[in-house]
Amino acid sequence: MAYVSAGEVGQLADGTMKEVMANDHEILLARVGDSLYAVDSRCPHMGGKLTEGRLEGTIITCPRHGSRFDLADGSVVRWLQGSGLLSRIGTTLKSPRPLKTYNVKVEGGEILVEV
Residues pairing with 78 in the sheet? 68
pLDDT more than 90, % of the chain: 78
Give the separation between CA 109 and CA 97, rounded to whole angstroms. Answer: 33
Instruction: Kindly write down the DSSP assignment for every residue of 19-67, as one continuous string.
Output: EEEETTEEEEEEEETTEEEEEESB-TTT--BGGGSEEETTEEE-TTT--
Report pTM.
0.87
- Phi-psi region at 23: left, alpha or beta (left = phi > 0; alpha = psi -120 to 50): left
Give the separation between CA 65 and CA 21, rounded to whole angstroms. Answer: 24
Give me the domain span that covers residue 73: 3-114
Residues pairing with 112 in the sheet? 5, 105
Give tens-digit pLDDT for 18-36.
999 988 899 999 999 999 9
CATH number of the domain to which 99 belongs: 2.102.10.10
> What confidence score (pLDDT) does residue 82 get?
60
Interval 63-88 mean pLDDT = 83
Average pLDDT, whole number, for the chain? Answer: 91
Confidence band, pLDDT 50/70/90 cuts, at residue 112: very high
Total domains present in the chain: 1
How does DSSP classify residue 108? T
